[in-house]
Amino acid sequence: MQDDPTFEKVDAKSWTPHPSFRTDVAEDDIGMIRLERSVSIEPVALSFDSGFPEKGDNVIIIGFGFITENGPISDELLRIDVEVGIDQECNNTFGNIRDEFQFCAGGAGEVSRC
């Protein structure tokens, strides 16, 4: 990512997790990061479309998640393009998927997340 001409490294000033975030479940795993200074790039646009991804749709995952299963957490923003998967596969891996606000992305041999 650092070879990308649009890359700009900025330290985080603070991080505020979602007020309902719990480390033991994969719900409300989101937060806000306040940067040390302004950046010169446009922020990532989030979709507030009422549609939900369907199995087979391609989605983009971004975040500061685990680099490997139960491994260290990245200190750099990560991005990966994955395919929405089958909920039963995710249920076997991550536990109960709550269809009203969760979906599974990834697949065999890929990075995956709920």
Q: DSSP letters along the chain, please?
A: -TTSTT-----EEEEEE-TT--TTSSSS--EEEEESS--SSPPPPPP--S--PPTT-EEEEEES-BSSTTSPBPSS-EEEEEEB--HHHHHHHHS---TTT---B--TTS--B-
pLDDT at residue 56 in the model: 83
What is the reported pLDDT for 37?
Answer: 93
- Give the pLDDT means over successive 10-residue stretches in the chain (114 positions): 69 89 75 87 69 81 76 81 74 71 65 52
- State the pTM of this model: 0.58
The domain spans of the chain are 12-94
Cα–Cα nearest to 65, from 10, 105, 34, 7: 105
Given this model, what pLDDT does residue 112 score?
53
